[in-house]
Homo-oligomer: A and B are copies of this chain.
Amino acid sequence: MATLREVAELAGVSVATASRVLNGSAHPVSSDVRDSVQTAAKTLGYTPSAAAQALKQQRSKIIGVIASDILDPYFAELARGIEIEAAKSGYVTILANANRDPEQERTKFRVLREHQASGIVFCGSDIEGAPGTAELARDVNMAVRAGTRVVALAPRGFDSTKIIIDNVEASYELTRYMLSLGHRRVTFIGGVPGLTAVEQRADGYRRAMFEAQLVPHVVGRTGMRQESGRNAIAGIVAEGSLPEAIVCANDEIAVGVLAYLWTSGYRTPEDVSVAGIGGTRGGAVFGLTTMTLPLVELGGLAARYIASASAQPSVPEPPRFELSIGSTTAKATSGQARSQQFG
C-alpha cells in the first residue's frame, strides 16, 4: 500500500501538495505539479487510506445497514437501493443481519458505530415486547443525540429519522380491491405476532373487512417466509374450507401459498384469488397481484439522507405504494359465492 508520503517523495513535492492533488481539494495547484503527482500516484498504485481519512475527518463514508434477513427479497431490495445510492456519493454499505433480535441489533449497531458509520439504517420493524428492545432504544437515542444519522424504514420505538410506508393503508387498499372483485370470504395469512409492520397490515385488512361488515380471519402467523404461506394454506385446506380470496402479509408468503395450491391441483384465480404485499421480484414471474412498495427507491432515500452534505437534511416523504394487478386475482364467480361458509 503506497502512502501519500511515498507519492510525494517520488513526485518531489510535499505531502500537503500531494494530498491537495489527490483528493480534489479546492486548493489551487499548478498543473505541472499536479501532473507529476498524478503520475507518481499511478506508478505507485497509490490507494488512499480510508482509515486515516476517517480518523482525520471524524466521519467515514460508511452506511450501516441492519436487516432482519438478507435472504428475504424485501430486505435484499432495500439493501440494493441503499447500496446503489450510497455508491453514487462514494459511500460504502456495511451489511449486518440481525434476525429480528434486538440483542443482535444492539451488537451490530455498536460495531457499526465503532466503524464511524455516517449513518445507520434499520430496515425492519421491531417486535413488541422482544427482550432487549428498551436497551436498543437507549443506545440508538444516545447515538442520535451524538450526531449519528439513524434512519428507520419501518416502525420503530426509538427516536430516529423515519421514512415509513403506510402499512395500514397499503393493506387496507389491497383488501378493498379484493372486496371490489366481489369476494366476501377473504382471509389474511402470515406474519409474526407482535411484528409491528405486519400487525399494521393485518389492521388495514381488518378495517376493510369491518367496513364491508365482514368477519376478518387472520391465520398462519408463523413467519414471513414461503414455507409459512405453504403451511398456512395447507392447514386451511385440511379444514376443508378454501376462502374466496387471500391477502398475504408479504409476497414470500403469497408465493408459498401459490406453490401449495398449484402442486395440490388448485387453480388461481379460478379456485381462489391470492395477493401479496411488497412487490418484490419473486412474485413477478408468477403474475402475483400485489401491493407494490417501492423498496429500492425507499432504500435510496435513506442513503441519500445519510450521505447528504447539509447539516440538517430534510426528511424525505416515504414513497407511495401502488397496486399491481396480476393474474392471481379475479372477480368472484357465482360458484364461489354459493359455497359461502363464514363471514
Chain A interfacial positions (CB closer than 8 Å to B): 1, 45, 47-52, 54-55, 58, 60, 62, 65, 70-71, 73, 76-77, 79-80, 83-84, 87, 90, 92-97, 108, 110-116, 142, 146, 225-227, 229-230, 255-256, 259, 262-263, 281-282, 284-287, 327
CA distance in complex: A258, B205 (Å)? 31
Report B-chain residues with C-beta under 8 Å of the C-beta of A51.
50-52, 54-55, 60, 115-116
Question: Which partner residue on chain B sits nearest A45 by CB separation?
Answer: B142
Give me 15 other A-B pairs in contact (C-beta within 8 A), A1-B116, A227-B285 excluded. Answer: A1-B146, A47-B113, A48-B114, A50-B51, A50-B115, A51-B60, A70-B83, A79-B95, A90-B111, A92-B94, A92-B115, A93-B95, A94-B95, A255-B285, A282-B282
Are the CB atoms of B263 and A49 closer together than 8 Å? no
For residue A224, give the distance in angstroms from its CB to the closest CB of chain B: 12
Report B-chain residues with C-beta under 8 Å of the C-beta of A263.
286-287, 327
22 intermolecular pairs with C-beta atoms under 8 Å apart: A1-B58, A1-B116, A48-B114, A50-B114, A51-B51, A51-B54, A51-B55, A51-B116, A62-B94, A70-B76, A70-B79, A71-B73, A71-B76, A79-B95, A80-B97, A83-B95, A83-B97, A84-B97, A87-B108, A225-B281, A230-B285, A263-B327
> Given A55-B52, A83-B95, A115-B92, A47 and B282 touching (CB < 8 A)?
no
Are the CB atoms of B47 and A114 closer together than 8 Å? yes
CA distance in complex: A286, B114 (Å)? 42
CA distance in complex: A32, B258 (Å)? 63
Are the CB atoms of A111 and B92 closer together than 8 Å? yes
Name the one of B60, B95, B108 contacting A95, with C-beta atoms under 8 angstroms.
B95
Report B-chain residues with C-beta under 8 Å of the C-beta of A262.
262
> Given A77-B71, A230-B285, A93 and B92 touching (CB < 8 A)?
no
Name the one of B80, B94, B287 contacting A94, with C-beta atoms under 8 angstroms.
B94
Are the CB atoms of B49 and A55 closer together than 8 Å? yes
> Given A1-B146, A95-B95, A114 and B226 touching (CB < 8 A)?
no
Report B-chain residues with C-beta under 8 Å of the C-beta of A286.
259, 263
Are the CB atoms of B97 and A92 closer together than 8 Å? no
Report B-chain residues with C-beta under 8 Å of the C-beta of A113.
1, 47
Are the CB atoms of A50 and B116 closer together than 8 Å? yes
Are the CB atoms of B285 and A226 closer together than 8 Å? yes
Report B-chain residues with C-beta under 8 Å of the C-beta of A77.
71
CA distance in complex: A116, B97 (Å)? 22
Report B-chain residues with C-beta under 8 Å of the C-beta of A230.
285
Report B-chain residues with C-beta under 8 Å of the C-beta of A255.
285
> Given A80-B71, A92-B111, A227 and B284 touching (CB < 8 A)?
yes
Report B-chain residues with C-beta under 8 Å of the C-beta of A285.
226-227, 229-230, 255-256, 259
Report B-chain residues with C-beta under 8 Å of the C-beta of A226.
281-282, 284-285
For residue A231, give the distance in angstroms from its CB to the closest CB of chain B: 10
CA distance in complex: A97, B86 (Å)? 11
For residue A229, give the distance in angstroms from its CB to the closest CB of chain B: 8
For residue A205, give the distance in angstroms from its CB to the closest CB of chain B: 23
Are the CB atoms of B96 and A92 closer together than 8 Å? yes
